[in-house]
Structure 1
């Protein structure tokens, strides 16, 4: 078991929806210039963007953007320690979120083909 069993669902207006294997992610970053996205840097230098705010919405505060990036890294590590395959999805959880974004990383089980149950069923906050 390990990072190769953990996947991250990245969705953005720019690049659509992609599922990225956690062991190919070398960096997760958020910066003020592109505040509506988290940037997942994958091996080879490709950047995959993940929308954390609707286009035109209030920009994230730095502490919240950083919290989402750090939260993904800790969710990847926590999920890699568990048996089976896992998909990490950023969910809107509103006031239940531990940060000011209303968003939290949630983990859903994946089956062997890489498919996962609908995120609203069987996903748990990480």
Structure 2
């Protein structure tokens, strides 16, 4: 078991939708100059952008505090999910007021073989 059984769903207007294996992610970060994205740095130098704010969304751009929180929460979710049996997909869901940050967004765990989801916090 481990990080090879954890995947992260990345979706953006730039790179489309794809699942990235957690053990290939070397860094998760938020950049002020791409404030609607959380950036996944992949081993080998590739970067995948996950769009936390939809294009044309009326929601505020991510602040540094919230963007950094989303990046940190993904890392924490990857670690806690790696301890679970089976394969899991981490997906950023809109959860509104129950989110642990100011974005209304939270990383949630989906089993790779069905559509059930649990909070990954």
Quickly name the TM-score band, shorter chain normalised: over 0.9
Residue 111 of structure 2: aligned partner: 109
| 1:3 counterpart = 2:12 | no
Mind listing any 5+ residue stretches in structure 1 that lack a counterpart? none
Aligned partners of 1:97 and 1:16: how far apart in 2? 25
Residue 79 of structure 1: aligned partner: 81
| 1:60 counterpart = 2:52 | no
Matched length = 118
Q: Which runs of 4+ in 1 moved over 4 A?
A: none
Aligned partners of 2:32 and 2:56: how far apart in 1? 14
SS at match of 2:72: helix
The 10-residue stretch of structure 1 (73-82 or 49-58) with the greater mean CA deviation from structure 2: 49-58
Aligned partners of 1:12 and 1:27: how far apart in 2? 18
* TM-score (norm. length: structure 1): 0.90
Once the 2 structures are TM-superposed, how far is the Cα of residue 56 of structure 1 from its aligned partner?
4.3
Q: Aligned-pair RMSD on alpha carbons? A: 1.0
Residue 98 of structure 1: aligned partner: 100
Residue 72 of structure 2: aligned partner: 70
Residue 15 of structure 1: aligned partner: 15
Once the 2 structures are TM-superposed, how far is the Cα of residue 55 of structure 1 from its aligned partner?
2.4
* TM-score (norm. length: structure 2): 0.94
Aligned partners of 1:37 and 1:55: how far apart in 2? 11
SS at match of 1:73: helix
Can you list the C-alpha shifts for 1:23-79, whole angstroms capped at 9, x where unaligned? 000000101100000000001010000000122442111110000000000000000
